Structure 1
Amino acid sequence: MKRTAPMTLVACAALGAATGYIVDLALTNAGRATYAPSIMLPVLLVALGICCLLFAWPIRRAVRDEKAPRVDPFRAVRVAVLAKASSMVGALAGSFALGLVTFVLTRPVSPAVGSMAETIATAVAGAVLVILALVAEHMCTLPKDPDDRESDPSSSGAEPEF
């Protein structure tokens, strides 16, 4: 499994920001109040990031320390996939909140800071989730095996046989 590509996170962030802006635009055009996320959303995003790290810690120990108990490879893959998905969710949720903030700040009437606190906290929590998930994903990777180089015919300079 490959690591999360930066372009994947950039695409998720662009999609989230555009969606957040369009949601607030549509609500305002319909005569309704702008969307404000719950205060529990940033708490849950950070809790998800911490859970990713806690799940990845035994895998890191098993990879780095030979005395540590062995970890089931399927568990390691599940944790890596959880971390990968969490980084995408963090990019989407954080940029969605940034889209909401961008829409409100481009209006002629400036909002009160208190009404923007949850949205700004969601944007920050999304960034924190991306960072924690990428760290957890890194913790689930295996180190390079020195034997891989010897078995690879292209590393010796010889032409591979077809």
Structure 2
Amino acid sequence: MRRTSPGLLAVLVLLGFAVGFAVDHFLTVSGQATFTPSIFLPVLLVVLAVVVVLLALPVRRSVHGGTRIDPFRALRAATLARASSLLGALLLGFGAGLGTFLWSRPVAPPVGSTVATVAVVVGSIVLIAAALLAEQFCTLPKDPDDREPDDPAE
């Protein structure tokens, strides 16, 4: 399994940004209030970040300590880490899009909306960082006997 590429994360941030900006724009055009994320969303993102790192720690200990761990458990931890980084990138863009729309309006946004939007962006950054760290924990060290398929045999 390959690591999550920064390019994919950047594309997802841009996609989330466009969706977040468009959602607030269409709500405003239709005469409704702008979307304000729940304050529990950033809390949930931080809790998810902690869980992802805690699930990856036994895999790291196994890799560096030599103890045996179930490979399916390691794969689940790595998959959760990757999915969390992708979710964090989408929500980072979405929160940034909501915030950009709010701050681009001629009327000052309410403090509650601003705090909730900034909290979503910060929570998403924490989730991305924790997920990439957990993905690093689940990476096996390069074996000196391994060679690339196109390398000539010695």
Q: One fold, TM greater than 0.5? A: yes
The residue type paired with residue 51 of structure 1 is V
Say yes or no: does 1:10 pair with 2:7: no
- Structure 2 unaligned blocks of 5 or more: none
The SS at the match of 1:31 is coil
Match of residue 127 from structure 2: 129
Match of residue 60 from structure 2: 60
* 2: CA distance, partners of 1:87 / 1:155: 36
Match of residue 40 from structure 1: 40
Say yes or no: does 1:95 pair with 2:93: yes
- Structure 1 unaligned blocks of 5 or more: none
Give 1 or 2 for the bigger CA radius of gyration. Answer: 1
Taking only aligned residues, the RMSD between alpha carbons, in angstroms, comes to 1.6
Runs of 4+, deviation exceeding 6 Å: none
Deviates more, 1:113-122 or 1:50-59: 113-122
Match of residue 151 from structure 2: 154
Deviation readout 1:41-88 (Å, 9 max, x if unpaired): 00001111110000000000000012x3x1111111111011000000
> Cα gap change, 1:35/1:155 in structure 2, threshold over 3 Å: closer, same or farther?
same
Match of residue 142 from structure 2: 144
How far residue 155 of structure 1 moved from its aligned partner, in angstroms, is 5.4
The alignment's TM-score, normalised by the length of structure 1, stands at: 0.90
